[in-house]
Amino acid sequence: MALVLDLLNRDPRPNVGNPKAGGPGVSEPPRHPEKQKRPENPILRKPDWIRVKAPGSPKWAETQKIVKENKLVTVCEEAGCPNMGECWEKKHATFMIMGDTCTRACAFCNVKTGVPQALDVLEPAKVAQAVAKLGLEHVVITSVDRDDLKDGGAEHFAQVIRAIRKASPATTIEILTPDFLRKPGALEVVVAAKPDVFNHNLETVPGKYLTVRPGARYFHSLRLLQRVKELDPTIFTKSGIMVGLGEERNEILQLMDDLRSADVDFITIGQYLAPSRKHHAVIRFVTPEEFKGFESIAYVKGFLMVSSTPLTRSSHHAGEDFAQLRAARAAKTG
């Protein structure tokens, strides 16, 4: 799941520094104009196992300072990712490239929808500089969907990967990409840049796509992951889903089989949390015991790595998970 905060023009005063808002006294345009006329959904009370400590430690502030100084967008803040405090205290941040505005309008996502601005040609260098300053051993790079670009932003992804490699040769790189739907040749460009981990989230079971992820196609996303392994078998592949959207248990198990048929190495399963009453409702909170059951089943099905907890997110513990993933492959291949 991608949740972003635009740190480019942040100011504590309402609308100051936001050229789109028209200055003080003028309301900002809605982040999700397509959701304005939707009925409000009830917000279920979060169970105790969802609650986490609020961020605010000195190390958290240091991470925030580095992000702001480099005028970057992260995938951690605006909708209050439950793991932000833990991750930023460890100087772990997931960078979101290609702006803060998405061309899709997924029902679960809090990323702003609209017409994106032109790509920042200096962004690859800015991201690489931030990675070096943070001293990251493992970095995760994600993006908004950019259907407006001929290649969906594939070359920009590749430039970011190459810039990080040059500035921090020892840093391992994980990317969480859009689906590059109807962008022929785009995937090949990204894979050629040789990220260590290629992550593309299925997000939900196929039966929920029309209501949850209407701009995407389940079997296209599945084929994208399969194609990565065909192009470069050394790259680890990863995908994640949310639960609590009304899916059935058997649908989750079938999705696991689909991912294994695409030779995906790593699956993440986490609880869906609605960003607002206008977003898709949380149908239920899945218990920790159920998550543990999904983990056991996924390992039996052959995944090298599984993260299945209520607070699991695509980038949570990404560095530690990558080390275990690499060790699991080494043990399997002998």
pTM, full prediction: 0.85
3-class SS at 271? strand
Residue type, 325: L
Average pLDDT value for the chain: 87
Q: Specify whether the CB–CB gap between 75 and 95 falls below 8 A.
A: yes
- Which residues, 6 or more positions from 122, have their beta carbon under 8 angstroms from its beta carbon? none
Please enumerate, by residue number, every residue annotated as part of a binding site: 76, 81, 87, 102, 106, 109, 315
**Closest by Cα among 194, 218, 173 to 322:** 173
Domain boundaries defined on the chain: 53-333
pLDDT score, position 38: 78
For residues 201-207, give the mean pLDDT: 98
Q: Are strands 94-97 and 73-74 parallel, antiparallel or unpaired?
A: antiparallel
Quote the CA–CA distance of 201 and 205 in Å, as a whole number: 11
Q: How far apart are the first and last CA of the chain?
A: 34
Binned at pLDDT 50, 70 and 90, residue 301 comes out as very high
CB half-sphere exposure, 318, CA atoms < 13 A? 34
Tens of pLDDT along 60-103? 677 767 777 776 666 555 445 555 656 656 666 689 999 999 99
- In this structure, the number of other CB atoms found within 10 A of the CB of residue 28 comes to 11
Quote the CA–CA distance of 178 and 187 in Å, as a whole number: 10
pLDDT above 60 (res 4): no
| More confident site: 170 or 77 | 170
**Closest by Cα among 68, 3, 38 to 280:** 38
Beta bridge partners of 42: none
**Closest by Cα among 118, 126, 121, 235 to 177:** 235
Class of domain 53-333: alpha beta
| More confident site: 197 or 29 | 197
Binned at pLDDT 50, 70 and 90, residue 39 comes out as confident
Please enumerate, by residue number, every residue annotated as part of a binding site for [4Fe-4S] cluster: 76, 81, 87, 102, 106, 109, 315
Placement of tokens 């932000």 in the chain: 84
pLDDT score, position 252: 99
Binned at pLDDT 50, 70 and 90, residue 27 comes out as low
Q: Which of 27-41, 205-219, 289-303 shows the lowest mean pLDDT across its residues?
A: 27-41
Q: Which of 43-57, 242-256, 258-272, 275-289 shows the lowest mean pLDDT across its residues?
A: 43-57
Q: Which two three-digit tokens encode residue 205? A: 């079971």
Q: Which two three-digit tokens encode residue 260? A: 């294994």
Q: Which of 35-44, 211-220, 225-234 shows the lowest mean pLDDT across its residues?
A: 35-44
3-class SS at 289? helix
Give whole-number Cα distances, 234 to 195, 237, 315, in Å: 10, 9, 20
pLDDT score, position 302: 98
With a pLDDT cut of 70, the percent of the chain lying above it is 81
For residues 128-157, give the mean pLDDT: 95
pLDDT above 80 (res 10): no
For residues 308-323, give the mean pLDDT: 91
pLDDT score, position 21: 45
